[in-house]
Amino acid sequence: MSSVLGLLVILLLALAISNARVKSRLKSLEDEQRKTRDRLEMLERRTQGDAEKDVAAATDGTAKTQTGMPAGSLGPSAAETIVPPEHAKPEDAGKTSAAVKGPPRAFVFTATLMRQFGQWLRQNWTIALAALSLALGGIFMVQYGVENGLLTPFWRVAGALLLGALLVGAGEALRRRYGDDTTASTRSLPSVFAGAGLVTLFSAVLAARLLYGLVSPETTLAGLVLVSILAVALGWLYGSVLSAVGIIGATAAPFLVGGEAESGWLFFYYFAFIAIAGLAVDSVKRWAWVSAIVLIATATAATLLYVTTGGLIHYAAFLALSWLVAVIIPVQSFVPSHAGQTVLATLSGLRPRADFPTRIVAAMTLFVSGAGVLLSLNASSVTEANVAVTLITLVLGASLIWMYRAEALKDIPLLPAAAFLAVPVLQAVEYGPLFSHFAAARQSTTVTTSATSFITLALVLSAIASVMAFWRMTRSGGDARAAFGFALGAATFAPASAFIFQFLWSPTAAFGDYLWSLHILAVSAIMAVLADRSLRSADSAGRQLRAALFAIAALSMLALALFVVLTQTALTLALGIVVILTIWLDRRFDLALIGVFTKVALAIIAFRLVASPGFFWAVASGTSWLAFVEAYGGTLALLYIGWRLTVLRPRQSVQVAIETTTWTIAAVFACALLQRLVPDEPGLLAAVMAIAMLAQINRLPTTGRWLRHFRVALAVLFGLIATALIAVPLTITNPVLFRFNLVTGPAIFDSLALSYLPLAAVLAIGAWKIGNLGRRLRIGFICVSSLLAGFYVGCEIRRFWRGNDLSVPGVTQPELYSYTIALVVVCAALLLVSFSRRSHVLRKVAMAAAGLTIAKVFLVDISGLEGLLRVVSFIGLGLALAGLGWLDRAMNLRWNRSSGQPDTPGADGVS
C-alpha cells in the first residue's frame, strides 16, 4: 500500500509540474492571438490619412515584441495594453516583479476582491445555485441510488460515473463553442457543468468503497488520483469558477456521502490529492486565492476528520504531504527557489511585501508546526506522540537543508524550531504522554531504556539541527544578517533543549548525575567544535562574533554539567574557574561578546554566595568552617585571578562587574564571619542588604535602558530592607533604651560593633568608591554612616564608665568629659582631612562640630565641675580650641598663597 501511494504521489507531482510548462506556452500563444486582434481593432479606429504609418509602426512593434525588444512606436501605454501582467508567462513572473516597482500582484482576500466577489454573486446567483444543485444531485444520486431500489450498488455507482462524465462533457462542449468567459450569455456555465461533474465523479469513487465496498482501498486511491488529474487538466482550461466549485464540492463530498469508520484513513490522502490538484491548477493560472482556498478547505476538512474519527498517523501524513506540495507546486520546482522578501521582513514593515508562494509556505509551516505540537499532547500512546515529534523534526530539517537556495524562506526554520522546543515544555506542563511515561519510569525502581530514549533522541536531534543551522550559516554568502541569525540559532537551539529537560523533566532521577552530565557535556563539545570552526572561517567580518556565540553556548553547557554533578561549594568554585576561562578566551581570541557570559556567571556566583544558599547557609550551625572558608575564600581567590586578567586586557564592563562581585562577596564574607562569632545581630543582615544595594548602583553605568529600571528597583528594595533591619538595633534591641539589652563581648569588638559598624562601614566605602552615586545620595550615605559610627562610639564610652547595662539612669562627670574629648578628636580629624583634600565643605563641618563641642562644654560639662578639675578642664579646652583655631588659620593662609594653582590635593606640595 505504501509503495502504491508513493508512486501515485510522485506521478501526480511530475505530471503537474511538467504539464504546467506546456500549458503555459499554449496559453501564451492564445494570448498572442488575442493581442494581434486587439491591435488590428486599434489600428482601424485611427484616421485614414495615418493608416499606412500606423500599420508600419504596429508591424515594427510586433517584431520587436516577439524578439523581446521594447514596443517601439507603440509607447509604454500600448505595450502595457498588449501584454497585461495577468497573462504573463509563469517563467517571466520574476522579471515582471523586478521591472515593476511596488508589491507583488498576488493578494488574497483583499477588500477589493471581496467586493468583486459579492458583486459577481449578486449578478450571477442563478449560476451559483445551479452549480450547487448539480453537485448535490450527483452526490445524492450516489448515496441513495434510485428511490425504488431497482438498481444494484454497482449500477448506482456506474450511473453516478456516467452522470459525472456527461456533466463534464457538457461543460467542455460549451467551452469549446462559446468559451468560459468571453460570451456574456454563457459566461461561467461551462465551469458550472464541469465542476458539478468533477464533484459527482469524486463522490462516485468514494461511494464505491465507503458505501458499497465494491473496490479495494488501492483501487479507490487510484480512482481519486485519476479524477484529480482530470480536475487539474480542466482547471488549466477553465476559469476560476470551476476551481472553486471543484475544490469546495470535492472537499465536502465525503461528509455528504458518509462511510465506514474503519476506512476513514483514506480521506486524509483524498484531501491531500485535492490540495495537489488545486495547487497544480493555480501554479499555471496564478489566481493566488485558489491556492489559499484549497489549502484552507482541505486542512479544515482533514482536521475535522481527525477530531471526529482519530487516526493521528494518517493525519500527520496529510500534514506532511500538504506542506510538501505547498512548497513545491507554486514555484514548479522540486527544490525550493522562492525569491524576494521574507515574511518576517514583511511583518516588520519592510517593502516590497513577500511574494504569494512565500506567504503560502509560511502559513502552511505555521499550521503544520502548531498541529504537530497539539498532536504530541493529544496522542493516545507514546508511538503516536513520537510520530508528531518526527513530523516537526522533518519540517525543521527540510527548512534548514532543502530550502537553502530559497532566499525568501530563510526565516521559515524559526517556526518548526519553536515548535520543537515547545513540545518538551508543554509535555511537562500539561503532563503529556511522553512526560507521563518518563515520570512513571522515573518513580519506579528500574528505569527502562524506552523511558529515557525520548530525552536522548531529542538532544541528538537538537544537536543535529544546530549543526544544520551552522551549515546554513556558512552558506549565507554576503548576507551578514542571515549569517548571524543562523549562528544565533545554532548556538542556542541544542543548549535550550538541554536546559528545558534539566529544569522541567529532572532527568537525573532516571539517568543518574554522571550519565546525564555526559549528555550535556556532549552538547558542550559540539558547541566547542563549532566555535573552533567559526574561528577558522575565512569570513573575517563576523568571525569573532559568531565564535563568541558558540563559545558562550559551550561554556553554558559546561556550567550546567557542573551544576548537575558538583556539590554547592564545588559548583561555586567551578563557576569561578569558568569566569577565569571566559576572561582568558577573550584575551586569547578577542571575543568581546563572551563578556556577556562572564557577567552572567558572576551574577550566579553572587546570587549563590549572597542569597541562595548565601548568607544564611554561611551562618548556619550545620555549615562547617572548612566549607564556609572554601566557598568564600576560594571564590575570592579565583575572582582576584580573573580581575588580574581583566587588568591585562581591559574590558570596562567586565572589569566593573568582577570588581563589584568581588567587593560584594568580600563584604558578605566578613559579615558572615562576624555573625558566626556573635550570632543574632540584624545589623549584619542590614549590611548585607546594603552591599546588594550598592552592587546594583555600581552596575548602572554599564546597563541598558530597560535593565537599568530593574536594577534601580532592586536597589530601592534592598535599601528598604536594610533600613528595616537596622531599625531593630536602633529601637527594639537598643541597649540604651531598654534595660535587658546587655552588651556582650570584649570591649570595642563587642555586640555594639556587630550591630552598627558593618552598615556604617559599607555605606562609607560605598560613598568613597562608587563614582555614580550622585551628590545627594553620597551625602546621605556619609551622614547615615557618621551617625551610626558616632552612636557606636558613644555607646562604647558609656560602657567603659557604666558597665554592660547602658540603660542605667544618669551620666557621670567623667563620662561627659569623655564625650567632649571624642568630639574634639573628631573635629581635629575632620580639619586634617579637609586640609589634605582642600575641601571647604569638610572644613565648615569641622568648625560646626567645634562649635557644638564648645556649646556642650559651657552648657553641660562646666555645670558639674568643681575645684582643680574645673581649672584643668578649662585649660585643656582652651589649648584644644587654640590649636583648632591655629590649624584653621594655617589652612586659610596656605590656600590663599596657592589660590592661583589648580584646586587639587597636593598641588602646593602638601597632600
What's the rounded mean pLDDT across residues 292-303?
A: 88
Return all residues near 533 (Cβ < 8 A) that are at least 6 apart: 470
Q: What grid cell was written down for 782? A: 556619609
CA 445 → CA 284, 434, 439, 448, 901, distances in Å? 63, 19, 12, 10, 83
End-to-end, the C-alpha distance of the chain in Å comes to 96
Least confident stretch, 54-63, 712-721, 766-775, 859-868: 54-63
Reported confidence tier of residue 447, pLDDT bands at 50, 70, 90: low
What angle do helix axes 595-610 and 652-677 make, rounded to 10 degrees?
10
**pLDDT number for residue 1:** 41
**pLDDT number for residue 852:** 75
The per-residue b/e assignment along 798-812, b for 16 or more CB within 10 angstroms, e otherwise, is: bbeeeeeebeeeeee
User: Half-sphere exposure of residue 148, counting CA atoms within 13 Å on the CB side?
Assistant: 1
Highest mean pLDDT among 18-27, 81-90, 217-226, 799-808: 799-808
Q: What grid cell was written down for 484? A: 548571524
DSSP secondary structure string, 568-602?
Answer: HHHHHHHHHHHHHHHHHHHHHH--GGGHHHHHHHH
**pLDDT number for residue 523:** 94
Closest alpha carbon to 281 in 541, 553, 19, 578: 19
Predicted TM-score (pTM) above 0.75: no
Q: How many C-beta atoms lie closer than 10 Å to residue 304's C-beta? A: 11
**pLDDT number for residue 372:** 94
What's the rounded mean pLDDT across residues 158-164?
A: 76
Residue 469 has pLDDT above 90, yes or no: yes
**pLDDT number for residue 238:** 67
Q: What grid cell was written down for 881? A: 580650641
Residue 107 has pLDDT above 60, yes or no: no
**pLDDT number for residue 568:** 73
**pLDDT number for residue 79:** 33
**pLDDT number for residue 545:** 81
Higher pLDDT, 54 or 694: 694
Reported confidence tier of residue 354, pLDDT bands at 50, 70, 90: confident
Q: Which residue has the cell 556587630?
A: 754
pLDDT tens digit string along 583-637?
A: 887 777 777 777 777 888 888 888 888 877 887 888 887 888 888 888 888 888 8
Reported confidence tier of residue 128, pLDDT bands at 50, 70, 90: low
Give dist(CA 664, CA 673) in Å, integer: 14
**pLDDT number for residue 77:** 34
**pLDDT number for residue 902:** 46
Q: How many C-beta atoms lie closer than 10 Å to residue 57's C-beta? A: 18
**pLDDT number for residue 55:** 43
The DSSP output letter for 401 is I
Give dist(CA 577, CA 565) in Å, integer: 15
Highest mean pLDDT among 46-55, 238-247, 519-528: 519-528
The DSSP output letter for 354 is P
Highest mean pLDDT among 202-206, 226-230, 898-902: 202-206
Least confident stretch, 428-437, 468-477, 579-588: 579-588
Q: How many helices (H) and strands (E) does the chain have?
A: 35, 0
Q: 389 burial class (0-12, 13-18, 19+ CB within 10 angstroms)?
A: buried
Handedness of CA 481, 484, 488, 490 (dihedral sign): positive
Residue 276 has pLDDT above 70, yes or no: yes
What angle do helix axes 414-430 and 480-500 make, rounded to 10 degrees?
10
Residue 769 has pLDDT above 70, yes or no: yes
What is the three-state SS of 321-345? Answer: HHHHHHHHHHHCCCCCCCCCCCHHH
What's the rounded mean pLDDT across residues 736-764?
A: 84
**pLDDT number for residue 750:** 81
Higher pLDDT, 807 or 240: 807
